[in-house]
Amino acid sequence: MIAISSTKLALLAMLMSEDQKKPRILVVDDHPKVLRFIEIDLKLRGFEVISTDSGERALELVKSAKPDIMLLDIVMPGIDGFEVLKKLRTFTQVPVIAFSASPENQDKAVQMGANDFMPKPFDPDTMARRIRALLGH
C-alpha cells in the first residue's frame, strides 16, 4: 500500500485538471443563429465556449472569463468589431480571429490587432484548424 498525503493528492488532482483543461473560446456575433451554430460546433470539437451578441459585453467577458482566444464578428450594432479590437488591445493580447461577410474588412481588422481573419460564410473545419494553430495545439 502506498501512503500519499492529502496535500500531495490535492496537488496531483490540480495538475491533472490543468492537463485536461479545455481551451476557452469567446464567440462574439450579433446574429443568434450564427452564434449558436459556432457555439455548438466548437463544443462538439472539445472547446469550452462563452458567447455574446454584444461588443460591450465581449470586453467585459475578456476580463472576467479570461478566454484563451476570441472569435469576433466585425459588423455589429453598437460597438463594432473594430472598436472592440481597439479597446481590447489596450489591456490584453488574447488571440483574435475576426470574421465578416464583408471581406474588405480584413486589412483593417488585422491592422487593428486581429491575429487572423475569415470571410463569412466560413468552413467550420478551417476555423477549428486556425483556432488550434493560434493556441499552439
CATH of the domain at 34: 3.40.50.2300
Residue 8 pLDDT greater than 80, yes or no: no
Q: Enumerate the β-bridge partners of residue 98.
A: 72, 117
Does 18 fall in a domain?
Answer: no
Does 17 fall in a domain?
Answer: no
Closest C-alpha to 71, from 10, 115, 107, 111: 115
Does 91 fall in a domain?
Answer: yes
Does 60 fall in a domain?
Answer: yes
User: What pTM value is reported for the model?
Assistant: 0.84
The grid cell for 54 is 454584444
Does 37 fall in a domain?
Answer: yes
Does 1 fall in a domain?
Answer: no
d(CA 4, CA 89): 46
pLDDT of residue 11: 54
d(CA 27, CA 17): 24
Does 7 fall in a domain?
Answer: no
Does 106 fall in a domain?
Answer: yes
Residue 135 — pLDDT band, cuts 50, 70, 90? very high
| Enclosing domain of residue 130 | 24-135
Looking at the 3D structure of the chain, how many domains does it have? 1
pLDDT tens per residue across span 78-130: 999 999 999 999 999 999 999 999 999 999 999 999 999 999 999 999 999 99
E strands, the chain, are 24-28, 48-52, 69-73, 96-100, 116-119
